[in-house]
Amino acid sequence: MDLTKENIISLLTDEGNENELLKKADTVRHLNVGDEVHLRGLIEFSNICRNNCLYCGIRRGNAAAKRYHMEPEELVKTARKAAAMGFKTIVMQSGEDMFYTSDKMCRIIEAIKKFDVAITLSVGERSYDEYKAWRNAGADRYLMRIETTDKDLYHKLDPQMSWQHRFDCLMMIKELGYELGSGIMVGLPEQSAESIADDLLFLKGIGVDMSGIGPFIPHPETPLADCAGGTLNLALRTMAIMRLLMPDINIPATTAMESLHPKGRIMALQAGANVVMPNVTEGEYRRLYELYPGKICVDDTPLHCRSCIGMKIMSIGRTIGTGYGGHKKV
């Protein structure tokens, strides 16, 4: 659907219209990507990061964070168990941890590919050669949020990073033939409805295959500890508009949404989302990968999360996808 920037701003700000907007997004989702919900097994394999984003709980400057990274064998073993549980996509996410050299990542990707799964990488900004080597090793998709398209805001939030460089990375990833995943946070300090409208039009413009909306949740050990953060309602409205703009892309019901409300992901699935990424990380790592406080399921096991989300999905009359669940362009 073509929406102007003005249309988007009024949809974002008109709270009285919320039910209608979310219902419309649900209908558009049903008509374009159907009732299947695609599950991705998420492995949070390292909380070590060279960056210092002001909002992020695992930023380099958070001395209170206990750091870990899985050894490559442990990562492959975790992926094997997730594949055995039926996951057809494995998402490997981490901070920008240089322990994982290009070659190490290639070996891991090759090993995990043997489990007949699609692989999504979410390890941040790396070089063209690294993205290329990982693609050649078998990685299918790449997930990296642009976070915001307001460059001034971006540079305030990530003072040592470059918005242009992040954008360039997204373009390299696309050129290399990955399915491109991106997205934004909403409720960032000083972020306006106009800026979110620009973000949504940007995501459509670059042709994302997958895009997520996360409410910003302030972490107590970061410089943004005292900020207000985003609300579930704003995140749902933003996500619903994204579905209207891009009817056939994959949209996850994000973990941050459920961290704000016990039914956050189900509400998202009924407002345009068609993907869920249950955590398949094991043991203490689940708690240590703390991007924001109140993260759900930190004491659960992967099997528990898989069956819990499965029941929730079926309780709203949806089915669980059995394929790889890539972007089906209609």
Q: Which residues bind ligand FES (CB under 6 A)?
A: 49, 51, 53, 56, 58-59, 95-96
For residues 246 and 61, give the distance between their C-alpha atoms in angstroms, rounded to a whole number: 37
- Mode of pairing for the β-strands spanning 41-46 and 36-39: unpaired
Q: Closest approach of Cβ 215 to ligand SAM, in Å?
A: 7
Where do contacts with ligand SAM occur on this chain (CB under 6 A)? 55-57, 93, 95-96, 122-124, 144-145, 147, 185, 214, 216-217, 219, 256, 291-292
For residues 25 and 267, give the distance between their C-alpha atoms in angstroms, rounded to a whole number: 12
Nearer to ligand FES by C-beta: 142 or 306? Answer: 142
For residue 49, give both structure tokens.
């990061």
Work out what residue 217 binds among ligand FES, ligand SAM, none; the CB cut-off runs from 5 to 8 Å by kind: ligand SAM
Work out what residue 59 binds among ligand FES, ligand SAM, none; the CB cut-off runs from 5 to 8 Å by kind: ligand FES
Work out what residue 268 binds among ligand SAM, ligand FES, none; the CB cut-off runs from 5 to 8 Å by kind: none
- Do 116 and 78 meet the contact criterion of CB atoms below 8 Å apart? no
Q: Closest approach of Cβ 52 to ligand SAM, in Å?
A: 12
Nearer to ligand FES by C-beta: 144 or 260? Answer: 144
Work out what residue 219 binds among ligand FES, ligand SAM, none; the CB cut-off runs from 5 to 8 Å by kind: ligand SAM
Q: Closest approach of Cβ 158 to ligand SAM, in Å?
A: 9
Q: What is residue 147's DSSP assignment?
A: B
* Residue 95 neighbours by CB distance under 10 Å: 25
Work out what residue 300 binds among ligand FES, ligand SAM, none; the CB cut-off runs from 5 to 8 Å by kind: none
- How many angstroms separate the Cα of 101 from the Cα of each of 1, 115, 138? 42, 22, 16
Report the sign of the C-alpha dihedral through residues 320, 321, 327, 330, in that order.
negative
Largest CA distance in the chain: 53
Work out what residue 163 binds among ligand FES, ligand SAM, none; the CB cut-off runs from 5 to 8 Å by kind: none
Taking the alpha carbons at both ends of the chain, their separation in whole angstroms is 13
Nearer to ligand FES by C-beta: 74 or 96? Answer: 96
Q: If DSSP codes are grouped into helix, strand and coil, which group holds residue 61?
A: coil
Nearer to ligand SAM by C-beta: 291 or 313? Answer: 291
Q: What is residue 267's DSSP assignment?
A: H
